[in-house]
Amino acid sequence: MNIFLDAAGKNQLTPKQILRDPVLFLAFGFGSGLAKKAPGTWGTVAAIPLYLLLIQADTLIYSLLTITVTITGVWICGKAADKLGEHDFGGIVWDEIAGFLVTMWLVPCTWQALLLGFVLFRAFDILKPWPISVIDRRVHGGFGIMLDDVLAGVFAAGLLHLASQWGLTG
C-alpha cells in the first residue's frame, strides 16, 4: 500500500518530477503534499519545524519571513497550479505553511500553543467559515490559493491570542 500519490494534477506529474522541480518542491511543502490522505494536514505538520526554527529569531525576523513566505506563495502556488494543470490541487500546501506561520505569529512558544494553533488553523482551513468560503470560491490563481489559508491563519491567530491571554496556552 502506497501512502503517496502516483501522479498529481491533470498533467499527471510524478512524485519524482515534483520533487526535482524547485517550485513544485516548495509548493508541495517539501514533499508533504504528496500524501494521498489529508495533504493539507501534512503540509501543516511540515510547517512546524520551520516555525520552530523561525521562532528562535526575534519578532522582526519572524514577521519579515512570514510576510515573505506569504507573498512569494502567491507566485509559487500560481506557478505550481499552472504546471499541474489544475487550480488549487490538494497537494499544493505552501498556503498551509504560510497560514500556520500566520496563526503562530506573536504567540509565546509553548507546546500547548503549538497544539492549539495547529488544531485551530486546521479547523478554519477545513471548515472555511464565512468569509473564507466566499473567497475560496471566488478568488482564483495563486492569490486565491493563498488568501483563504492566510485568512484561516488570521482567524485561528485571533482565537489563539485570546486563549493565550486567558492562560490556556501555558
pLDDT digits (tens, 9 = 90+) for 59-116: 999 999 999 999 999 999 999 999 999 999 999 999 999 999 999 999 999 999 999 9
For residue 170, the model assigns a pLDDT of 86
**Number of domains observed in the structure of the chain:** 1
Rounded Cα gap, residues 46 and 40, in angstroms: 10
Residue 103, in any domain of the structure: yes
For residue 90, the model assigns a pLDDT of 96
Residue 89, in any domain of the structure: yes
The range of the structural domain enclosing residue 37 comes to 15-165
Beta strand residue intervals within the chain, DSSP E: none
Euclidean distance between the first and the last CA atom of the chain, given in angstroms as a whole number = 40
Query: Degrees (nearest 5) of the Cα angle 115, 116, 117?
Result: 90
Q: Which of 129, 75, 68 is nearest to 101 (CA)?
A: 68
Residue 6, in any domain of the structure: no
For residue 2, the model assigns a pLDDT of 85
Asked if residue 1 has pLDDT above 80, the reply is: no
Which secondary structure element, helix H or strand E, spans residue 169, and what is its range?
Answer: none
Instruction: Kindly state the average pLDDT of the residues 118-144.
Output: 97
pTM of the complete model: 0.97
Residue 3, in any domain of the structure: no
Q: Record the cell numbers describing residue 47, joined without a space.
A: 510547517
Residue 95, in any domain of the structure: yes
Rounded Cα gap, residues 84 and 41, in angstroms: 20
Instruction: Kindly state the average pLDDT of the residues 38-44.
Output: 98
**Residue 131 contacts by C-beta under 8 Å, 6 or more apart in sequence?**
151
Q: What is the dihedral of CA 21, 80, 31, 127, to 10 degrees?
A: 180
**Residue 122 contacts by C-beta under 8 Å, 6 or more apart in sequence?**
40, 41, 44
Residue 87, in any domain of the structure: yes
Residue 104, in any domain of the structure: yes
Contact between 107 and 164 (Cβ < 8 Å)? yes
Residue 5, in any domain of the structure: no
